[in-house]
Structure 1
Amino acid sequence: MKIDFANLQYQYQLYKNEIDSAIHNVLDKSNYIMGEEVYKLEENLQNFTGAKHVITCSSGTDALLLAMMALNIKPGDEIITTPFTFIATAETIALLGAKPVFVDIDEKSYNINVSKIEEKITPKTKAIIPVSLYGQPADMDAIRTIAKKHDLKVIIDGAQSFGATYKGKAEVHHCDIYTTSFFPAKPLGCFGDGGAVLTNDGELAEKMRMLRVHGQNKRYHHKYIGLGARMDTIQCAVLNVKLKYYAEDLKKRQEVARKYTQALQEKDLMLPFIDANTTSVFAQYSVRVKNRDEVQAGLKEAGIPTAVHYPMPLHLQECFAYLGGEEGDFPVAEQVSKEIISLPMNPYVRDDEVAYIVKEL
């Protein structure tokens, strides 16, 4: 059996006629930048999440930059985040001249360990960036309590979690700014790069709209130093089609995860833990094994693709050597990075494929 990890081609074929029509509609009008589909997507995303403001942008990475720039993050500022995430979370902090301050992760959820945040706060700390890893929100009540106590801002890196909820509400309602990515392999993915920032704060929204077009408040008049961070019209057209089916796709992803968990619960593996306060969109279905290289090789031989999210925590990456991180600084993140492995996950994994993957695993 040959398994597809993300099944992007299958999904395209499902919605092919609508997607092709939406793309050709843009081509016929040739309005490739800030066309009407951009504003329609922003409206659709508002309706989906209940957010007061949605600003699409060119990637999840630029979404993080826009959020921090809107909050006036400056060189020398400190931002607390997790070392167990994709590099963009901390890379964008560093790009602005600020300092990423890492906190170890929770043993079960792999999200930031909130009990360790407060000890890392200094007079230079300006914000906390929790990451909704694998599609599950962090403990947002605890994070917001800490943020309020110390007058800090909260940006959620939701690159993997669009559509997830915390206590029944979309994540945008639990932070100052929520950022997400529409990279093709994300649960809601376009056909290239794309992202969005969501907020309920009108002033922040207005500033981020300007920042994404070089800080302009009108054509060729620049209030801020900004970015060229627009999401192009064709990508928005694609997402306008896919968003119509997204709620159903999420249910299917969660059902695939349930079947994996049911089939694997008697095995000698550490399975995903989902907190009672959250729903996960299962961007990944990740388990922990002691002999990962051997397992990956065996599954590859059986035609089953896997991935590792992530093999090296950020404090041990060469680019962050200047921060002085060492092996042993964040033992949970370091241990998980040696054992974590992601199995094929998408809404279309069939029951016979689940059975085959579980058997080979």
Structure 2
Amino acid sequence: MEFRDLKAQYEKYKSEIDAAIQEVINNTNFIGGKEVNTLEQRLAEYVGVRHCITCANGTEAMTLLMMAWDIKEGDAVFVPDFTFFSTGEVVSFRGATPIFVDVDRETFNVDTTKLEKAISKVLEEGKLTPKMIIPVDLFGLPADHIEIEIIAKKYNLRVLEDAAQGFGGSINGKRACSFGDAATTSFFPAKPLGCYGDGGAIFTNDDALAELLNSLKVHGKGDNKYDNVRIGVNSRLDSIQAAVLNVKLTAFIDHELEDVNRVYRLYTEKLKGIVDTPIIPEGYVSSFAQYTIKLKNKEERDALQAKLKEEGIPSMVYYVKPMHKQGAFTEYDYDDNYFEVTNELCDTVLSLPMHPYLSDNEINIVTDNLKEII
């Protein structure tokens, strides 16, 4: 059994994927070109924004926005404490200070009440200038962007939606990657929409920002790549990855999002009353990058994971360590008492096999074994 079965997806779309890759090889247009242009247009249309700017990966997508918005030393950027390292990394990379915020126990996303308290605390201390919020759509579920937008406007902060795991999710029909001042996603292979290497994208309705990002991602180019008007980076999505993504995007729209939610419903039905299962608020749709349950304590979680492994059932712990305890952030004096929920989650969460191609039989194997072990 695969944790996320990319082989099953490839077997289903082998002829289309192989033909798309071969077309790039035949036309030898490996960087840029029609595949990338087509993908950007389709992604922007699906999300519902004017611009999609592809780039090398999801981390650089965030970094490019930090560059465009001139986030720098002395700035405070608010980041959930329970997330992947890169969300805080890009803040420190620019010399700014990440302010980690505890999360909601049910949704795993940033706690908006604690977020506002964190902003007020930074303002009262007067050492840093609050500039930005990076809410994360964790495990496929959009953050509470409605409340976050209210807070951002109140304190005049920019919002960067980190939808690396959230592509395909929505709130009342408004899709992930369309919230905030701009949004980013990742095309890492295991993501809801993944390529066969690294890749990322930025989404925005801001025409001037899109123009600046298209310059920054190609060495700060002006009218052409040999006219360099600013310092930029080299961060382009290659044509083969775009070709693969064009095939996969069609599959994602046609059936994969619905199929992964079918798996969610079956898991939840079978595990009800056995473990704490994911909570999807009314009006929300998750793209289920992960299906994450909660156990009573670390000992129960670790024992369950070990026994599942003995039965050939893969599982993963996202995340074993909070952001505020990462060694890279030891220069900051974070008070562990502010992160009660995150500390608990790191000891109790376990993600089960989850993907659109998971069969009913495989779901039964996972849930039957889990029930027996528990």
Q: Same fold (TM over 0.5)?
A: yes
Name the SS for the 2:52 alignment partner.
Answer: strand
Question: Paired residue for 1:70?
Answer: 68
In terms of mean alpha carbon deviation, does 273-282 or 165-174 score higher?
165-174
Question: Paired residue for 2:89?
Answer: 91
Tell me the alpha carbon deviations over residues 27-68 of structure 1, each in whole angstroms, 9 at most, x when there is no partner. 111111112211110011112111100001110101110121
Please state how far the C-alpha of 1:171 moved relative to its aligned partner. Answer: 2.7
Q: Is the 8 A contact 2:76 2:96 kept in 1?
A: yes
For residue 205 of structure 1, what is the amino acid of its counterpart? A
Question: Paired residue for 1:256?
Answer: 263
For residue 265 of structure 2, what is the amino acid of its counterpart? R
Q: Is the 8 A contact 1:328 1:334 kept in 2?
A: no
Distance 1:97 1:59 in 2: 21
Percent identical pairs in the alignment equals 44
Match of 2:181 among 168, 176, 181: 176
Q: Which runs of 5+ in 2 are unaligned?
A: none
Tell me the alpha carbon deviations over residues 301-333 of structure 1, each in whole angstroms, 9 at most, x when there is no partner. 001000111110010011111112254330100
Task: Name the count of aligned residue pairs.
Answer: 358
Name the SS for the 1:242 alignment partner.
Answer: helix
Name the SS for the 2:178 alignment partner.
Answer: helix
Q: Is the 8 A contact 1:58 1:193 kept in 2?
A: yes
Question: Paired residue for 1:197?
Answer: 202
Distance 2:229 2:341 in 1: 44
Question: Paired residue for 1:348?
Answer: 357
Name the SS for the 1:300 alignment partner.
Answer: helix
Query: Quick check: 1:188 aligned with 2:193?
Result: yes
Structure 1 length-normalised TM: 0.97
Distance 1:118 1:196 in 2: 28
Query: Quick check: 1:82 aligned with 2:87?
Result: no
Q: Which runs of 5+ in 1 are unaligned?
A: none
Q: Is the 8 A contact 2:219 2:225 kept in 1?
A: no
Query: Quick check: 1:298 aligned with 2:316?
Result: no
Q: Is the 8 A contact 2:59 2:86 kept in 1?
A: yes
Distance 1:45 1:356 in 2: 36
Distance 1:178 1:58 in 2: 15
For residue 302 of structure 1, what is the amino acid of its counterpart? E
Distance 2:191 2:226 in 1: 35
Distance 2:64 2:29 in 1: 24
Moved over 4 A (4+): none
Distance 2:86 2:340 in 1: 22
Name the SS for the 1:161 alignment partner.
Answer: coil
Query: Quick check: 1:358 aligned with 2:367?
Result: yes
Please state how far the C-alpha of 1:293 moved relative to its aligned partner. Answer: 1.2
Match of 1:318 among 327, 333, 336: 327
Distance 1:91 1:174 in 2: 21
Name the SS for the 1:245 alignment partner.
Answer: helix
Question: Paired residue for 1:27?
Answer: 25
Q: Is the 8 A contact 2:137 2:165 kept in 1?
A: yes
Distance 1:141 1:277 in 2: 12
Tell me the alpha carbon deviations over residues 217-255 of structure 1, each in whole angstroms, 9 at most, x when there is no partner. 122222222111101110000001111111210100000
Q: Is the 8 A contact 1:172 1:200 kept in 2?
A: no
Tell me the alpha carbon deviations over residues 182-207 of structure 1, each in whole angstroms, 9 at most, x when there is no partner. 00001110000001000011111111
Question: 5 Å matches for 1:279-290?
Answer: 279-289=285-295, 290=297
Q: Is the 8 A contact 2:163 2:177 kept in 1?
A: no
Match of 1:274 among 240, 258, 280: 280
Match of 1:133 among 130, 138, 141: 138
Distance 1:326 1:46 in 2: 40
For residue 115 of structure 1, what is the amino acid of its counterpart? T
Distance 1:263 1:330 in 2: 31
Please state how far the C-alpha of 1:15 moved relative to its aligned partner. Answer: 0.5
Name the SS for the 1:231 alignment partner.
Answer: coil
For residue 43 of structure 1, what is the amino acid of its counterpart? Q
Q: Is the 8 A contact 2:177 2:185 kept in 1?
A: no
Name the SS for the 2:49 alignment partner.
Answer: coil
Distance 1:301 1:260 in 2: 20
Distance 1:340 1:185 in 2: 19
Distance 2:202 2:175 in 1: 13
Name the SS for the 2:287 alignment partner.
Answer: coil
Distance 2:214 2:226 in 1: 15
Distance 1:9 1:171 in 2: 26
Structure 2 length-normalised TM: 0.94
Please state how far the C-alpha of 1:170 moved relative to its aligned partner. Answer: 1.2
Q: Is the 8 A contact 2:32 2:239 kept in 1?
A: yes
Tell me the alpha carbon deviations over residues 275-320 of structure 1, each in whole angstroms, 9 at most, x when there is no partner. 1131100000000112111111100000100011111001001111
